[in-house]
Amino acid sequence: MLKITTVDTLIIILMFAFLPVDMVNGILLMNGINLPISFGQLYKLVILALLLTRLMFTIKLFISASIVIFILLIPSIYQVFHDPEGSSVFLDFIKISKYLTPFICFLFFVDALKHSKDKIYPLTLSLVKFSYVVLVLNIFVKYIGLGYPAYKSGGMGSKGFFYAGNEISALLIILCSIIAFRLWNKGLKSKYFVFLALNLLAGLTISSKTGILGILLVFFIIPFKGKSLNLKRFFPLLVGAMCLLPLALLFSWQFIKNSAIMVRIEFFYEKLDFWTFILSSRNVFLANSFDIYINEYNFIEKIIGVGQTKFELLNNSKVVEMDIMDIFFAYGVLGLLVFITMLVFVLVQAKVFSKTNRYPYANLVSMMVIILLVISTFAGHVFGSGMSAIFIGILFSLMYLKREIEKG
């Protein structure tokens, strides 16, 4: 019989192919090769199936995962009887897998680290570093004339060989936050600031407001969330941070001003009002979706949602691109409560752990829950991101690591 640690190791090894498979998927889709289930979706479903199978070894975790899956499928099951032509449980399951995977991965990594910290933790860090290298190389291939632009108009930005360019920024922020936090806590300050410059350049290359601001925010806050600060260290750190932030902003502005991004900014700023410009028309999508919610949903659907397939059908195949609102319109009040409950649990647990010095990642997790929630609320493509899913689970699970393991 296979040991649990062996099963965990095999699953994590399969995760190393997560982003490379997404690259292949991107190349296929960008060349018009559309399969009933995309190559990337199929691989992610295989990973999800393996994770659920693994959770059966810890029955409480499997039951928790099953309850969440059932709740998110309630609107889809309801639509089978209410409007069978406008719904699909199968397609909805594929779509909810994006929201499920971070939660399932969180449960998996917490349990895996508990069973074999010495083996699983180094392997998990290797997965984070490898995935970061794959992502950054994809972003920077633009400079040698390879990959695809993030925006079709004007060929601006870079998404490498990935298809979902709007998911890259959140993934970059998640991966670099873990690596940057370790650099700072190890006292590698010079490497930390070089790493900041590298990620800022990556964010600028993507040409994403979310990427640029998110990276600056993460790197600005980490020094205050690392090892406990005393007054002797706090003031020099604050002065240094306040000096570096304007320099980073100046560099970013000069980069933007001398690139094609400026043309895009000027074009949309003239066409749109301030909030529509800042939110990239998400406020318009939200207003349209809310009208549909008020006028098209019946009472039951207002509570449980209509499922992702029906929501997109009613909304002309569009989503709001604000995670909280997309969850609300697709899965109703019930689905939104489940989502918020999971995030509150992680945040509260991280806050409890951060009160002691035994859990080095607790401060990082509490910071990142808030940052990711803000990004997901205003820019979307975080908790519903297929690319970021497993890495959100990894990030949140790290708060359970105790300091003696971190030193090892």
Please write the tens of the pLDDT for every residue from 153-211.
Answer: 666 789 999 988 889 999 999 999 999 999 999 989 899 999 999 999 999 899 888 88
> How far apart are the C-alpha atoms of 75 and 55, rounded to whole Å?
25
Q: Please give the pLDDT value at position 379.
A: 85
Q: What percentage of the chain reaches a pLDDT higher than 90?
A: 58
Give me the mean pLDDT over the 319-342 stretch: 93
Give me the mean pLDDT over the 319-343 stretch: 93
Cα 164 to the center of its chain, rounded Å: 12
Q: Which of 39-43, 146-150, 246-250 has the lowest mean pLDDT?
A: 246-250
Q: Would you place residue 317 in the very low, low, confident or very high pLDDT band (cuts 50, 70, 90)?
A: confident
Say whether pLDDT at 245 is over 50. Answer: yes
Mean pLDDT of the chain: 87
Cβ contact 48:101 at 8 Å: yes
Q: What would the DSSP string read from start to end of 342-360?
A: HHHHHHHHHHHHHTSSS-T
Q: Is 397 helix (H, G, I), strand (E, B) or coil?
A: helix
Say whether pLDDT at 404 is over 80. Answer: no
Give me the mean pLDDT over the 256-280 stretch: 63
As to burial, measured by CB atoms within 10 angstroms (0-12 exposed, 13-18 middle, 19+ buried), residue 32 is exposed
Q: What is the dihedral of CA 151, 153, 156, 157, to 10 degrees?
A: 0
Q: Please give the pLDDT value at position 115.
A: 86
Q: Which of 31-35, 138-142, 236-240, 380-384 has the lowest mean pLDDT?
A: 236-240
Which residues lie across from 156 on neighbouring strands? Answer: 151
Say whether pLDDT at 235 is over 60. Answer: no
Torsion sign (Cα): 187, 193, 195, 196: positive
pLDDT tens digits, residue range 279-306?
Answer: 677 888 899 999 999 999 999 999 999 9
Alpha carbons within 13 angstroms on the beta-carbon side of residue 325 total: 23
Q: Would you place residue 150 in the very low, low, confident or very high pLDDT band (cuts 50, 70, 90)?
A: confident
Give me the mean pLDDT over the 381-396 stretch: 94
Say whether pLDDT at 277 is over 70. Answer: no
> How far apart are the C-alpha atoms of 404 and 19, rounded to whole Å?
31
Say whether pLDDT at 366 is over 70. Answer: yes
> How far apart are the C-alpha atoms of 130 and 124, rounded to whole Å?
10
Selected residue with higher pLDDT from 107 and 246: 107
Say whether pLDDT at 114 is over 80. Answer: yes
Which of 53, 47, 44, 2 is CA-nearest to residue 22? 44
Which of 402, 404, 391, 400 is CA-nearest to residue 345? 400
Q: Please give the pLDDT value at position 227.
A: 55
Alpha carbons within 13 angstroms on the beta-carbon side of residue 120 total: 24
Q: Please give the pLDDT value at position 50.
A: 95
